[in-house]
Amino acid sequence: MTSSLPPLQLGVSSQNHAIARAFAAHYQSPAKRQQTYLNTLAVSLVNDYFQGLNLPTDLENSATWQPQAQLFEDIAELLIPGWGTVACRPVLADAKACYIPPREQDGILAIQFDPDFRYATFVGFVSGIPAQVTQIPLSDFQDFDLFLEQIAQAVREPLINRLGDWLTGTIDASWEQLDRLLGVQPTLAPVRSYPPCVERGKIFALEEGGAPVALVVWVEQTPKQDLNIAVELWPINEEHCLPDALELKLLEPFSGETMVQAQARGSERLRFKFTGERGDRFDVKVSHNGHSMVEPFMI
């Protein structure tokens, strides 16, 4: 880990300990009680810190706060609306690496406690970890401040793309017609039974120097006044394939929970198609190697 500042260190409050003891008391096994105690302590501490920074969290809907979920898995997760789920992994004082259970999460924080559990050090943050990796050296974690910058950027109130307005011609200029954007004729909908329908796209790169991709959205009104919607990612390269680790997700906008997801794995396109009612909300998240962007939509 490279940083010009020392890692953040916080005191662990008596309330943090009381909450952790209450969750651990659900289980009879000493090993499970200790696991639950440490996981809850780490999540509670991170949640308090984020709340102090006025960063949104959804503790009640986080898996860590569900005793039944804790029973069957090693869970230390905090839900961050508008961003996703971060694992707050507890690390003992003498440990040199952080254990990562085989569970999907958008990022991982390493929280190292002193021997008496009076203080905790926010070691750092990592993301994009392959599922087969179960141990990460503490020296490999990135500066915690970089994670805070990601969260702050993600939770800013973004411009909501109102798909109902697209059908009446009110479309933000950042969304371009496909023939202008890509030099191709629209191909998302092989049959358009219920006009009007609209297709738009935008090209972006998730990181400086990274491979550009196109986010393409098609919307069509049905006879029942619902909207048929398709969301696609297209490659912008000579190989005509998306980067292997590129992910496309549809998120529930208020909780940040993933509704559906797909990984490119070298495919030509990623596509979701669904029907929604007027007023429904969803977010589209595109991520690759720890970098991500979110586009919010209202039907």
Domains in the chain and their CATH numbers? 8-155 (no CATH), 161-298 (2.60.40)
H or E segment and range at residue 121 = strand 119-126
- pLDDT, tens digit, 9 for 90 and up, residues 237-293: 777 788 888 889 998 876 778 888 888 787 788 889 999 888 888 889 988 877 788
Can you tell me the mean pLDDT for 211-223? Answer: 87
**pTM score, whole prediction:** 0.56
Choice between 229 and 255, residue whose per-residue pLDDT is larger: 229
Strand 84-91 with 107-113, pairing: parallel
Out of 75-79, 89-93, 285-289, which region has the weakest mean confidence (pLDDT)?
Answer: 285-289
Mean pLDDT score of the chain: 84
Can you tell me the mean pLDDT for 120-130? Answer: 88
Rounded Cα–Cα distance for residues 159 and 173 (Å): 12
Cα separation values, 167 from 96, 120, 142, 186, 222, Å: 56, 52, 44, 16, 12
Say what the pLDDT of residue 2 is. Answer: 44
* pLDDT tier for residue 193 given thresholds of 50, 70 and 90: very low
Q: How far, rounded to the nearest angstrom, does the alpha carbon of residue 162 sit from its chain's CA centroid?
A: 22
* 141 has a pLDDT exceeding 60: yes
* pLDDT tier for residue 173 given thresholds of 50, 70 and 90: confident
Choice between 65 and 157, residue whose per-residue pLDDT is larger: 65
CA dihedral 124, 127, 132, 135 (to 10 degrees): 0
Can you tell me the mean pLDDT for 148-176? Answer: 80
- Judge contact between 257 and 274, C-beta under 8 A: no
* pLDDT tier for residue 157 given thresholds of 50, 70 and 90: low
* pLDDT tier for residue 12 given thresholds of 50, 70 and 90: very high
Say what the pLDDT of residue 287 is. Answer: 86
Say what the pLDDT of residue 156 is. Answer: 63
* pLDDT tier for residue 44 given thresholds of 50, 70 and 90: very high
